[in-house]
Amino acid sequence: MAYSNLQVQLEDRIAVLTINHPPANALNQTTLQELEQAIDELEQNPQVKGIIVTGEGRFFIAGADIKEFTQLNGDNARLMAEKGQRLFDKLEGLTKPVIAAINGACLGGGLELAMACHIRLAAAEAKLGLPELNLGLIPGYGGTQRLPRLIGRGRATQMILTSEMIDGHEAYRLGLAEAVYPVEQLLAEAKKLAHTIAQKSSVTMRLALAAIHEGQDLDLQAGLKREAELFGEAFGTEDVKEGVAAFIEKRKPQFSDR
């Protein structure tokens, strides 16, 4: 479907979802609504095996649309935060891998969106941070919860309380990004990674993502139990038979995604 603030292109089973809301790709309510529609569509599309999220121009997402904040009070601000959290939870729980290609300013809600993606690649020049305290606010779309889980409580607390912005290299050093590239190479590297992953079975990618995602909220023993259940489920697929046979026969597997 057509979107006002997004562009979605399908390239060899990889969907590139670009936030295109000039001048700074702010996450207003229209953009959030379109994002939800787009990820629902892509999740259901059997032709899509991976998703790349990036921004148009110099920005990934510069944050929320601050003008909308002037209409908020405590109650509807809480409802807005809960709505955004549900959307990013949905993004994190997708059964297809989602790669954030952070091409520029990735602040506030933009970083919260990126942290809900499964893998993050950053341009060296990108600026990442949660500057909400500069506005007398706190992060509301999951920033206080996901950032400590990704980089550790102390460093996350420092970033949030100081509104510090870091570049792609520091994001990589902290583990907030899995790789860092010059901005002109970023999207090509994201597509290369997405196509490498897309060679795997969609069925077993779904099981692996489920094991990782569900395990975050479980203790180790419960997580191991869930992993064993999903491991057993994999053995009920056609693709495990093909994968094992290809290994024994020393050839590349031809997965059918079943």
Q: Where are the alpha helices (DSSP H) in 18-122?
A: 29-44, 74-92, 109-116
**Residue 229 is a catalytic residue:** no
Please check whether residue 99 is in contact with residue 159, taking contact to mean a CB–CB distance below 8 angstroms.
no
**Residue 178 is a catalytic residue:** no
Please state, in angstroms and rounded to a whole number, the distance separating the CA atoms of residues 165 and 255.
Answer: 43
Per the rule left: phi > 0, alpha: psi between -120 and 50, beta: everything else, 107 is: beta
Identified catalytic residue from 132, 170, 178, 184? 132
Q: Which residues contact 94 (CB under 8 A, 6 or more apart)?
A: 39, 43, 51, 118, 209
With b for 16 or more beta-carbon neighbours within 10 A and e for fewer, the 91-127 pattern comes to bbebebbbbbbbbbbbbbbbbbbbbbbbbbbbbebbb
Identified catalytic residue from 68, 112, 189, 227? 112
Rg (CA), the chain: 19
Please check whether residue 180 is in contact with residue 216, taking contact to mean a CB–CB distance below 8 angstroms.
no
Note if the bond before 23 is cis, omega within 30 degrees: yes
Q: Which residues contact 8 (CB under 8 A, 6 or more apart)?
A: 15, 16, 17, 18, 38, 41, 42
User: Which residues have a catalytic role annotated?
Assistant: 112, 132
